[in-house]
Homo-oligomer: A and B are copies of this chain.
Amino acid sequence: MPHQLAPEEVSPDGVDFLPGLALDFVVFGFHQNQLKILLLEYWNTGLFALPGGFIRRDENLNDAARRVLAERTNLSDIYLEQFYIFGDLARHDTTPLRAIMEAKGLAPTKGHWLLNRFVSVGYYALIDFTKAVPIPDLLSDTCDWYELSALPTLMLDHRDIVQKALETLRADLDRKLIGFNRWAAPLLSETFTMTDLQSLYETILGQKLRRSSFQRKILSMDILERLDKKYTGGAHKAPYLYRFILENKLH
């Protein structure tokens, strides 16, 4: 459902939403050694931001997260996880929001609900960016994937939010990859080689790993099932194929 109404069109005085609480999304996209994130650019402002929005008064928090991400990016059926709630006073800076509203021809009146202090719940996701084509909503003129290593300047504390999401994703990565692979846009084919898996780890962790110790560590976790060797047309060193054991055996 692209091109939903923007929040202030639905609720000019904000009464439909929980006061002072917002959502921000760090959607990581992986494909073949590349790690990207999804950003919106607000039209006529040059401001880049994480997709975000608000929670309706009659809505569960996690349902709001799925709805807002779908409305703002057209992505649905994505596995989202909360990772942090951002509540520093320093993040209360109304400058970018004023610019966005003015570019839309809206005059932000004194006391407008969007100018209040907001605490924001951060959600992250990890998908294959070739399987997810985002569509911007009416407030934004682009919604696109950006290389994590070459992000444009982000508004407010969104750079810190990305960094925190990345730290969370990197910690306890084994458990998370299993979760993410059960969803609509898995990061690896159903079967994959040890090299494919190592490449995924290296791209997310941002560092090279030793092949032998990586393989030893992964196999010791009992999360992979070894299948036949990959058919490579007769080479004598054909690699084994693996797949994730779907019943979660991790504590």
Contact surface of A with B, Cβ cutoff 8 Å: 18-21, 55, 57-62, 64, 82, 84-90, 117, 119, 121, 170-172, 175, 205, 207, 251
Contacts and interface: CB of A to CB of B under 8 A. Distances in A.
Contacts of A88: 60-62
Contact of A20 (B21, B60, B207): B21
Given A85-B85, A119-B18, A171-B175, A251 B61 contact: no
> Taking the full assembly, how many copies of this chain does it contain?
2
A171 to B, nearest CB: 6
Interface of A is mostly: mixed
B57 A117 contact: yes
Given A18-B20, A18-B117, A60 B87 contact: yes
A60 B89 CA distance: 5
A251 B21 contact: no
Nearest to A19: B19
